[in-house]
Structure 1
Amino acid sequence: MEATKPHIALLASPGMGHLIPVLELAKRLVSHQSFKVTVFVVATDHASIVSSQLLQSPASPDGDDLLEIVLLPLIDVSDIIGPGVSFIQQIEATMLRSVPFFRTEISKMESRPTALVVDWFGTDVLEVADEFNMLKFIFITSNAWFFAFALYTPEIDRKEIDEHAKNQKPLKIPGCRPLNFEDTTEFLLMDPNDPTYQRHIGVIIKMSLTDGILVNTWDELEPTSLKALRDARKVPIYPIGPLIRPIEKSVLRSEIIDWLDKQPEESVIYVSFGSGGTLSAQEVIELAWGLELSQQRFLWVVRPPTEKDAAGAFLTLTNGCDCNPDYLPDGFLARTHDRGLVVPMWAPQVEVLSHPSIGGFLTHCGWNSTIESITNGVPMIAWPLYAEQKMNACLLTEDIGASIRATPMESNGMVTRGDIRSMVRKILVDHEGRNIRARIKELKNSAAKALAEGGSSYNVLFQFAEICIQHLSTKAFGA
C-alpha cells in the first residue's frame, strides 16, 4: 500500500442496523479508494456473526489485504440491565465502556489512522481521535430527515417542543417536512432534565463539532432534507448511500430460495420485522389471519411474541430455530401450506428481496431494510415498531411514495386482520397500488445511478476521500 493512502478507522456499535452499513462502508472505501480500513467492533453475538461472514469473502476485487476487523473485548453491562432500561441505554453504556479498549488498540498500531468514523452511539470515542490527531466523522445509518431533526433539536425553542409533546402539534424542522406527533421519537417526549435526554443533546452537539457527517442516503432520494442540512452550514454532509449487503448464496437455499423459485413473478409478500423486532401475541395472530385472508402468497420470518418490548430481540442472537410456533392460530400452517412459507427466526433478506417472485415487503422500516427494499425495487407496507422507524415510515409513505402504512386502531393500538388483508392485496395485485409499484422502480434506478461512476454518491465519497488524503499530507509534512 502506498504511504500516501489514508488509513481509516471505523467503530461499529452493537446491532445489525449499525454493523451492516459500517462494514459495507469499509468495503466501499477499500474497493473504490484502495484505502487501508480497520473496523473495530464491540464483541457481541451479532457482531461476531457479521464480522466472520465478512472475513470469509475477499476484502476487495483485487484481493488486497486492506481490510482488518478488530473485535474489542466483550463489555459487561449486566449491572445496568433491568426494568426500565432500554436497549438504547444498554448500547450507550457498552460503547462508553469500550473507550479504553479502543484507545489501547489505536496506541498499539504502527500505522495510526488518518480518520475515525463512528456511528450515533460512538461519540464518546471521538476523544481518542483528538488524542491521536485523527479527523473525526459521524456515520448516520438512517435517513437525512431524521438527522436534520436531531441536529436542530438543541436549538428548538422549548415551548415548541412542549407544544409538540403535550398538544401534539407538528414540530417545525428548518427546511424540512415538519415532524408530526404520531411519528415523533421517544427521547423528544422526555423531561428535559432527565439525564438520558441531556445525554442525547450532548451527543448531537458533539456531532456538530466533527469534520463531517456521512449519511446512508443519496441526493435523489432526499433532496429537500439534504439541501436543508447543507444550507445550514453546521457541518459538512456526505450522502454516500445506499450501502447494503451484497447478494450472497445462503446455506438455507434449499428451504427458502427453492420455494421462491416455484412462485410466479412478483407474487409473494415478504414479512419480516428485522433482526430485533417483535410483536405481541395478539399482533402475531392478527397478522397471521390477515395473510391468510389476503389469499396471497407469503414468506413470513416469524419469532416468538413478546408483550414487553417491540425491540425485544435487538441485542440477542436470532438466527436459531423455533421449530414449534404454537403462538400461531390453530390450523394456520395447514390451511396456508399451499401458498405460504413460515420461516422461524431468520432469513437471508437481501437474497430474498432480490428474488423475482417477491412483489412486496411488510417491514418494520429499519433503514437497512428500507434501502434494501428500494434498491431491489420492492414496494413496502410500513409497520414501524421503535426508534426512528415512524419517521422512516412517514418518509416512505408521504414523501417518497414507496409504501403504504399500517394504521393501528386508536382503541387498542392494533393493526387489524382486515387492514392487513387489504394492504397486502393493494401492494401485490390491486389496481390502486400501481403507482407505488411504478414509483419503487424509479427509486431503484436512482439508487443504482447514485452509486455508479459519476453518480452523486460516488462523487461524494470521492470528496470524503480527498479530505482524508489532504489531512494525511498535512500530518506527513508536520504542519
Structure 2
Amino acid sequence: MTSKPQTHVVIVSSPGVGHLVCDLELGNRLVADHNVHVTFFVVVESNSSAGESDLIQSARTQKLLDIIELPPVDISDKVEPNSPIFTRLTTIMRETNPILRSAISSLNPSPTALFVDIFGTPALDVADEFHMLKYVFVTSALPLALILYVPVLDKEVEGEYVVQKEPLRLPGCMPVRPADVVDPLLNRTKLEYRVFLQVGLEMRQSDGVLVNTWEDLDTTTLKAMREQEGYGSLAVYAVGPLVRPVKPSGLKCKLLDWLDEQPVESVIYISFGSAGVLSAQQITELAWGLELSRKSFIWVLRPPIKDKGGNALDYLPDGFLERTHNLGLVVTQWAPQSEILGHKSIGGFLSHCGWNSSLESILNGVPMIAWPLYAEQKMNATMLAEELGVAVRPKIAPTKGIVGREEIEMMVRKVMGDQEGMAMRARVKELKDSGEKACAEGGSSFNALTQLVKQCEMNLQRQKVK
C-alpha cells in the first residue's frame, strides 16, 4: 500500500517583524497539525532588524520549516528612500520575483501552493507560472474588507476619503469612519494609494485569503466578505489566532523578576510596537497620567522620532523616575512582550493596536487602552473598543492631538479596575477561551486549515494527471 505523498507548499514573507511572526506561525501550524512540507522564503533587507534575525534563527532551531533567505534587492531607482512602507515593501517584493522564480524552480518535489502576506501580491504571478494555487495571508478582517472593496470605492466616492461627511459603507460590515482609514487612503493623488488599489485588485485574483482571526471574533465581517459580491467572491479562511508562542523556558530578566513580586492583575504594560513613537509633549502627559493613576506599570519608552538614537529618559518630567521608583519600570531597550502579557501580574495594556499585539492581549485575557498611531491601527482600535468591548480609547485620536494627563489617568484607572474595566476583563477572557478553542483540533480555525490543505492536495493530484 503506497502512502499519500506529502503536500509541499511555499510561504513567502516580506521584510518586517510583524508579519514574519504570523507567517512563521502559519508555517509551523501547517507542518505540526497538518503534515505539510513547508519551504519558507524570507525576503531580507540589507538593514534588517535584530528582531527579524532572532525570529529566523529561532525558527531554524525548531527544524519544522525549510527556511531560505532571499538576498536583498536594489530598489533605489524605483522608489524614493523615504517612500511609505506600502510602496517600499511591494516594490521590494516585485523586484524579488526573478530570484523567487529561480528558487521555486529548484525545489523538489514541486510545491502545489504559494502563500504570501499583504505586501507579497506581486509574487502571485510566479505562482501562475508553476501552476500553483495562490493565497494571501493578512492580519485583521476589517482592513481586509476595506482593501478588497477599495476598487469599488475608487469608482463610487468623489474626492478624498478623509473629508467625507459620512462613514465609508462596506457591505455587511461595520462602517469605516473617514478618520480611521488606513494610511495609503489618506491622499488619492499619491503613488501609495495606487499601490494599495493594485494590491486589492491582485488579491481578488488569488484562490483565497487567510485571515489571522477566528469565526467568533469577526463573525459579521467574515460573513460579509463571503456573501457580498463587492469583495470579489473570494474564499475566506479564518485561521487564527496565530501569534508568537510564549516560551515557558528559563527566560529570566529584571522585568519578569519584578513582575513576580507584584499582585495579580495589578500592572499596566505600555508599548507602541517596534515603530511607534510619541512626541515629546505626549511623553510628558503620559508620564504624568501614569503617576497620577498610582497604578503599577512597565513602560517601553522610545525617544521622539526627531531624536532617533537619543536617550528616551531625557524626555520624562523632572523627578519622574525618582517619584515612581516603587511604582513601575521604564524600559528603553527590547522587552519580551509575549512573556510580559502572559504574566499573571499584568492587568492592562496601553497599546498601539497593531493586530499581533491586540491578539496577544486578547489571548492573555488583558483589556486594553487603544492608542493607534499608523497603518490599520485606527480601524483595529475602533473594533476593539466599539464592537468587541475589550478596550477604551481617548476622546481625541492620538494622531490628531495631545491626550492630556487627566484623561490618561482616568483610562488607566478604568481599565485596571472600575466597573467598566471589570466588564471588559470578563469579555476579553471569553474571547481568550474562544480563540484557544478555534485553534484546537476540531475548532473552526483548525478546520479551515484542514480544508485549505485539502485544496492543495487536490491541486497536487491535478498536477500529477497533467
> TM-score w.r.t. structure 1 length?
0.90
Pick closer, same or farther for the CA change 1:47–1:255 going to 2, 3 Å.
Answer: same
Pick closer, same or farther for the CA change 1:127–1:81 going to 2, 3 Å.
Answer: closer
Q: Is the Cα–Cα contact under 8 Å of residues 148 and 200 in structure 2 kept in the other structure?
A: yes
Q: Is the Cα–Cα contact under 8 Å of residues 161 and 185 in structure 2 kept in the other structure?
A: no
Structure-2 residue corresponding to 1:361: 349
Q: 1:177 aligns with which of 174, 178, 203?
A: 174
Distance 1:411 1:371 in 2: 22
Structure-2 residue corresponding to 1:207: 203
Distance 2:312 2:183 in 1: 35
SS at match of 1:55: helix
Structure-1 residue corresponding to 2:131: 133
Structure 1 counterpart of 2:449, one-letter code: L
Distance 1:164 1:100 in 2: 36
SS at match of 2:209: strand
Pick closer, same or farther for the CA change 1:326–1:184 going to 2, 3 Å.
Answer: same
Tell me the CA shift for residue 156 of structure 1.
2.5
Structure-1 residue corresponding to 2:30: 29
Gaps of 5+ in 1: 60-66, 313-320
Structure 2 counterpart of 1:471, one-letter code: N
Structure-2 residue corresponding to 1:17: 18
Pick closer, same or farther for the CA change 1:113–1:83 going to 2, 3 Å.
Answer: closer
Farther off after superposition, 392-401 or 80-89: 80-89
Structure 1 counterpart of 2:102, one-letter code: T
SS at match of 1:51: helix
Tell me the CA shift for residue 420 of structure 1.
0.9
Q: Is the Cα–Cα contact under 8 Å of residues 409 and 416 in structure 1 kept in the other structure?
A: no
Segments ≥4 residues shifted beyond 6 Å: 321-324, 409-412
SS at match of 2:357: helix
Superposed CA deviations along residues 333-372 of structure 1, whole A, max 9, x for unmatched, are: 1111101011113211111111000000000000000001
- Answering whether residue 439 of structure 2 is matched by residue 451 of structure 1, we say yes
Q: 1:345 aligns with which of 326, 330, 333?
A: 333
Q: 1:55 aligns with which of 60, 67, 76?
A: 60
Gaps of 5+ in 2: none
Q: Is the Cα–Cα contact under 8 Å of residues 297 and 329 in structure 2 kept in the other structure?
A: yes
Structure-2 residue corresponding to 1:438: 426
Distance 2:29 2:121 in 1: 22
SS at match of 1:269: strand
Pick closer, same or farther for the CA change 1:412–1:374 going to 2, 3 Å.
Answer: closer
Tell me the CA shift for residue 196 of structure 1.
2.9
SS at match of 2:365: coil
Tell me the CA shift for residue 87 of structure 1.
2.7
Q: 1:336 aligns with which of 311, 321, 324?
A: 324
Q: Is the Cα–Cα contact under 8 Å of residues 373 and 398 in structure 2 kept in the other structure?
A: no
Q: What aligned pairs does 1:75-474 form with structure 2 within 5 A after superposition? A: 75-78=73-76, 85-141=83-139, 143-156=140-153, 158-160=155-157, 162=159, 164-191=161-188, 194-232=190-228, 234-248=233-247, 253-307=252-306, 325-408=313-396, 413-474=401-462
Tell me the CA shift for residue 163 of structure 1.
7.2
Farther off after superposition, 372-381 or 108-117: 108-117
- Matched positions, count: 458
